[in-house]
A and B are shown apart, each in its own frame.
Chain A
Amino acid sequence: MTAQDAHITVRDLTMAYGDFVLMRDLNFTIHRGDIFIIMGGSGCGKSTLMTVLVGLKAPARGQVLYGDTDFWGADQETRDRLLRRAGVMYQSGALWSSMTLAENIALPLETYTTLRPARIREVVKLKLALVGLAGFEEFYPAEISGGMQKRAGIARAMALDPEILFFDEPSAGLDPVSARRLDDLILELNESLGTTMVVVTHELASIFAIGTNSVFLDVSRRTMTATGNPRKLLNETKDPVVRQFLTRGEQS
């Protein structure tokens, strides 16, 4: 498998809430090993695009291909099988609040593997240590801070060693140092495990620090206006909206 293998291909995708079309004609490819940034202004449909990619919301039109399989055209069983190889970190962590961190991370393992409880405990310990939360196994989500919840959310998303990880606004609501540490974690996981990363964000610092590929959603035109490496986009784009976004409004 080469680094340029397509992992997810989006074709002519249109997203809508009832009659309200949010984005139309999206076409882009996420390659294996990419850190793919979905960026755009507030309310442009970044998070909605992610919910379509991870199977929570059906698109109004178009296809999402995981490898060669048409995700939304497949049956539920195939979709579940594809999703099992993906991990999602939600904006607020979305940890199951009635379970401890250890139970949160153990649940996917108990559900999909035949590992013995002792082995599962070891895996849980490792995943928590990877996100810097060693020793917090028996805490409930409500007992730790927002940043820690996000990191625990990543640990849970990584439980089944997914091939692709989705992040919904990982740095939102975090202080700059924690946000930076989260970026480093994303980079590290990408490099050492080769995991494809899809990150929804509008934090410029993050975008330039980690992004190797991206798509820009323009809220006024209701479609994507650019795709490619964000640093390259910054130098080469002719689109005034993309330029304005990537330079924090200083050049337009």
Chain B
Amino acid sequence: MTALLKTCDALGFTWFIPFIRLARRENPNEQFRQILVNLGVPLLAVLLFLGAWSWVARNVEVSFGAIPGPVAVWQEAGNLWKDHVAERDKEKAFYVRQAERKAAHVTKTPDKPWVERTYAGKPTFIDQIFTSLKTVFAGFLVASLIAVPVGILCGLSNVINIACTPFIQIFKPVSPLAWLPIVMILVSALYNPTDPWFEKSFISSALTVALCSLWPTLINTSLGVAQIDNDYLNVARVLRLGWWKKITKIVLPSALPLIFTGLRLSLGVGWMVLIAAEMLAQNPGLGKFVWDMFQNGSSQTLAQIMVAVFTIGFVGFALDRAMMSLQRAVSFDANSIR
């Protein structure tokens, strides 16, 4: 039971804790109050929001027709899921047919080579979510691999910090939409392998995400390293720790909470940037899905875009929670993170 409590706390499911305590018969009145506050208030707020939304939906008319209410959006989400399932079935059927044809071909004309084809159906909404996730993690990884080491150097050396400051200050506020054309041009000029591992669009989206999500990690890492308690550094000096050992044993563990704060912010920024980049660059992903829906202007357009908006929100929320749990798991000072 205590382990379950700790898990809930670590995952950020604080609203669930009163239920566990209630099951343990710990001060029931207090638990009921907690449930009412932690669960009842947000639930009420959501109901109010849904009510206001329905009211607007019934009373406002736009060029695409009526604004869809919560029910229409929910049904559309169901439709998108059905589309996905249907598309998967079609794909499966395609490969089954291809296998049959291949068997026939090999028996009939064994001397002619068989050309295998991949299924060319359009990506579904679910596919787009996973493409977006893949892209954001690729960009986030690139950003972290650059930002953490550079941040450590900036934090350790005042000279490097002063050298980096103008770049950080100037590039940090640049919008992803400004980076994107430069990145796309550079990628198409420089990335031309005969047998590409990645699509060009994937690389330019990921790099744009990286360029924009670099800064929070960089700034927080250098702050975390610069704030290390002088006593810990004195320990390193008295022990005459080597440079590498000083970084791994003293600097990194001490700065880890702030590094993870930076990473968490970076992932959030990256997720926001990605949607914009996909929309503008027509790179596959949720952003392109929204843009395509906007362009085709059917009667379901608004509902589908709203499904995408909620999906983007929920995925972003899940990413943030995942990073927070990770941050708590690796930090020595778990109490300081909220």
Real binding pair: no
